[in-house]
Amino acid sequence: MLASAAGALFVGASWLAARRLAGKLVSGTGLGPTISTREGFLSALENAAPIVREFRHAGSARDPVELAATFASPGDPATRPTILFLHGKGGHSSEWEPDARRALALGYNVLVPDLRGHGGSGGGYMTFGFLEKDDLGNAIAAAHELWGIDPQQLGVHSCSAGSSVALELAAVTPGIEAIWLESPFADPREMARHYLSAATGIPAPLLSLVTRWAVALTLVRVKRDLKLEEAPGGLEKADPLEAMARVRCPVALVYGDADRLVPPRFVERLVDALPAGSEVFRAAGAGHCHHENQAQVVAREEYLRRWTDFFRQHLPVRG
């Protein structure tokens, strides 16, 4: 009887913990600090390019919130390819300042959105590509209408959970020619358990049941609030590996072997699933993208050389 009561208490405590943690999985907050500022970001772009515009566009028809993005170009944007920068969970567009400046210096347009639920964008949830692929399709269409960018000449540079968004977008967007996929993960549920462990300090093995329930509760909440129907390809089917199987352009998969937020073992199955013509850059001693020990800092010269060569090869600037 005591064992039965203890079991009931354990289940009850696990359920309450799952309810408390569910919102963390899809919120716009993350575990790492974002120290860049909007003002500094815009000022840096204005010093680097003659065309810098903030704009707003509609989100997915499934949840038509208004979203924010920034576009910049060295000039004549219709003649140039465009690189789209996608931040991770808890991030925002301003953290892309050095990367956007580098792309502009090489002759690219840059399109830098705040993903839904982040920065200046509306929306209450991050859905890891389920809604974001539609949001970004609208952002690309708006940039085409406003500045004439070619939607068939696109590259993507993503960070962390933004890499799941990048794969979902590339799986349905034929105009994407190259993806720089940084600090990605293959299994969202495994990542959820690790993320909740990092957020709470509870060892991941002890969170197995809680994580399963937290994911289930998250899906119920999001579907209820967004009035979503059960359907193949819905939020519960979000799968970076499945999306990677539908990507046809070259991918540069970049990760640090000292990344604690997304450990290297979380990347291995994505490495095995890369499309033809792809490459892998495992940066020794590097941590997570947009953290102080990111690959761009720890292995700066090799990182910049690889980044530049990758986009120049697969997304060349003509003229």
58-94 pLDDT, tens per residue?
A: 999 888 899 999 999 999 999 999 999 999 988 899 9
Residue 191 reports pLDDT greater than 80 = no
110 neighbors 139 (Cβ within 8 angstroms): no
The pLDDT, as a whole number, for residue 32 is 59
Task: Determine contact, residues 27/117, Cβ cutoff 8 Å.
Answer: yes
Other CB atoms within 10 A of residue 8 CB: 10
pTM, full prediction: 0.86
Question: Which of 71, 67, 76 minimizes the C-alpha distance to 45?
Answer: 71
**Which pLDDT score is estimated for 123?**
87
**Fold adopted by 33-187+239-314:** Rossmann fold (3.40.50)
Burial tier of 209 (Cβ tally within 10 Å: 0-12, 13-18, 19+):
middle
| Mean pLDDT (whole number) for 218-223 | 65
d(CA 170, CA 247): 6
Is pLDDT of 314 > 80?
Answer: yes
Q: How confident is the model at residue 25 (pLDDT cuts 50, 70, 90)?
A: low
Contact yes or no for 150/78 (Cβ under 8 A): yes
* Domain chopping of the chain, boundaries: 33-187+239-314
pLDDT for 9 equals 32
Dist. CA 199–CA 55, nearest whole Å: 34
Confidence of residue 247 (pLDDT cuts 50, 70, 90): very high
Report whether pLDDT(151) > 70.
yes
